[in-house]
Chain A
Amino acid sequence: MRTTTQGLVLAFLGAVLVRLSWEGAYLHFVTGWMRWPLLVTGVVLVLLAVRPIVGGGEREEHPVPAATWLLLLPALVVFLVSPQPLGAYLAERRADEAPPAAPVASFAPLPDAPGAVPLEVEELLWRALDENATLAGRSVEVEGFVSHGEDGRWFATRMVIGCCAADAAVVRVRVEGADRPARNSWVAVTGTWRDGTGAEPGSEAILDAESVRPIPTPADTYG
């Protein structure tokens, strides 16, 4: 690879990283705190590329392995395909994996406010496992995308990530008593936890729905 080309490859990758962090699409791939590291990385890569591009042709060649050509691939994929956040496809494939462990052994009671209490799907699953039965008889609201199961079942689903999309885990609650929305559409489900469901590791938590309304896709689908 010629020195000028090396500069082009670096600048392209750098520009794509800057754009990802600038426009917020980086949240399709990694967690929120990565925004500034990515922006800095992109800017530094572009700066590193200036000299080989501007003064490159006449200068000494610095040979690099043929594998360096592959560096074009991730940037091209971002550019041409604009990969979307992980959704129902992976969630359905990974449905039988255990969700992440709860960070605390037992949970405080839900706040005593009127109306449905907003909860993350993950926390709903943890509370269903909790012996203190903090969910019993309470109306809760969860947001997630729709993934499908057998026999017309459907789930309000989230993918949670630790570092990047490669380590995504599925958390989902089965919704009963409402028509099945389109796969991958985002919904807010208000309902009550069916007592005793999901109380054993590996069993399915069920939410008896009072209402299901469509919501726009959040900026950070994993958060």
Chain B
Amino acid sequence: MIIIRVTSADPTTTPTPTPSPARRAIGQPEIVGVLLLLALLAQGKLSSTLDSEALGTWCTIFVAVVVQSAPFLLGGVILSAAISVLLSERVLQRVVPKNPVLAVPVAGVAGIGLPGCECAAVPVAGSLMRRGIAPAVALTFLLAAPAVNPAVLVSTAVAFPGQPEMVVARFVASLLTAVAVGWFCLNRGDRMRLRRRPDPPHLHGPGRFTATVRHDFLHASGFLVIGAMIAAAVNTFVPRSVVDTVAGQAVVGVLTLALLAFVVALCSESDAFVAASLTAFSSTAQLAFLVVGPAMDVKLAAMEAGQFGKAFAVRFVPVVVVTAVLSASLIGWWLL
């Protein structure tokens, strides 16, 4: 039973500033094409005028986040297109338990099987919903997959040598966050205002697979770029030492590192190294950094607003962050 109310299934999604074909005087593709050609010719002329060190650093980190995410995002949309095209609703319904209360923890554990960056998980969760999986179950998978897969756990073990309890605590706290949010969405889902995008229009026949991949990639990548811009700005202009002043305080320390994890938007395979370098903070605060980051950050929030609607994102984001902080504090107090 799907409890989450799906608001307007508007096929046009967000309105674009694109002029309608009837009114267009000069073709948009031609304008973009000419601009790209100009860029080609201007290459090298501009690089000398943009020589500010800070701006250069921002550019490097911004491009780095996009370049690092692009293969994972493409992999994610190919996987989600494969789910849409190959997996019938009947097959999925046989694999996933009928009772959504049970299906939520199953989806959380299933996250172990998708060793990828968090940006891959967003389109996959979207396509699972399109295939009739209860939204709460798909969202649990979305939260668990980037946090509990083997690649992330191994990198955590490497970053915290001699502290295997950090790996265990991360696994438990992340899984707990995903399952708790999943159950919350089952219970209160009617208030989450999830907007489910319908299948891309007119995608049938032989070109359907590539059309779905292209459509999903274009849909998600713009929001990834927004997240990357913000994350690069924080990484460049906010020295991490400003957060050290509150490192001594238990509660403020946890909240500070949770906020830091949200704004710096690191990929979950490398965030453990950054957490380990925040030595001034308590282990519980470091754990909060590791649990919040893969579950929710500025890049994911932007992508989820694109995939599931702004109204959903403004409700879902705080729920996830609060749950992740509580779960990390509880597990940190217990295990660390």
Contact = CB atoms under 8 A, between A and B. Distances in A.
Interface of A: 1-2, 4-10, 12-13, 17, 20, 26, 28-30, 34, 37-38, 40-41, 44-45, 48-49, 51-52, 56-57, 60-74, 76-86, 89-90, 93-94, 96-105, 161-167, 169, 201-202
Q: Report the 6 A-B pairs with minimum CB-CB distance, sorted nearest first.
A: A162-B270, A67-B222, A165-B64, A163-B270, A4-B29, A29-B64
Given A71-B221, A93-B239, A101-B161, A66 B64 contact: no
A101 B278 CA distance: 11
A98 B279 contact: yes
A66 B14 contact: yes
Nearest to A48: B214
23 contacts: A1-B28, A13-B221, A34-B68, A38-B70, A38-B71, A48-B217, A64-B16, A64-B215, A64-B219, A67-B225, A68-B221, A69-B222, A70-B229, A71-B225, A74-B63, A77-B63, A81-B46, A81-B50, A96-B241, A99-B277, A100-B277, A162-B269, A163-B269
Given A10-B218, A51-B210, A77-B59, A67 B161 contact: no
B162 interface: yes
B289 interface: no
A101 B222 contact: no
B201 A60 contact: yes
Contacts of A93: 239
B314 interface: no
A9 B32 contact: yes
A167 B276 CA distance: 12
A26 to B, nearest CB: 7
A36 to B, nearest CB: 9
A9 B159 CA distance: 38
Nearest to A55: B207
Size band of the interface chain B makes with A: 35 or more
Contact of B67 (A51, A74, A76, A201): A74
A67 B229 CA distance: 13
Nearest to B20: A61
B314 to A, nearest CB: 16
B67 A38 contact: yes
B207 A51 contact: yes
A98 B59 CA distance: 24
A30 B161 CA distance: 24
Contacts of A29: 60, 63-64, 67-68
Nearest to B276: A101
Given A34-B68, A65-B13, A80-B47, A9 B161 contact: no
Given A52-B214, A70-B225, A65 B16 contact: yes
A84 B277 contact: no
Nearest to A90: B57
A60 B56 contact: no
A105 B12 contact: no
B140 interface: no
Interface string B223-253: 1011011011001100111000000000000
Contacts of B27: 2, 4
B273 A162 contact: yes
| Residue of A8, A41, A52, A101 with most chain B CB atoms under a 10 A cut-off | A101
Chain B contact residues, majority secondary structure: helix
B318 interface: no
A10 B47 contact: no
Contacts of B229: 70, 73
Contacts of B68: 29-30, 34, 163-164, 166
| Residue of A56, A67, A105 with most chain B CB atoms under a 10 A cut-off | A67
B214 A6 contact: yes
Nearest to B55: A81
Interface of B: 11-18, 21, 27-29, 32-33, 36, 39-40, 42-43, 46-47, 50, 53-54, 56-57, 59-68, 70-71, 74, 155, 158-162, 200-202, 207, 210-211, 213-215, 217-219, 221-223, 225-226, 228-229, 231-232, 235-236, 239-241, 264-267, 269-271, 273-274, 276-279, 302, 306
Given A9-B218, A166-B61, A17 B274 contact: no
A102 B59 CA distance: 30
B241 to A, nearest CB: 5
Given A5-B29, A12-B36, A68-B219, 9 more contacts: A8-B36, A29-B67, A52-B214, A67-B226, A80-B39, A82-B47, A93-B239, A97-B240, A98-B278
Contacts of B50: 80-81
Contacts of B29: 2, 4-5, 7-8, 56-57
Nearest to A96: B241
A65 B14 contact: yes
A2 B28 contact: yes
B214 to A, nearest CB: 5
A45 B74 contact: yes
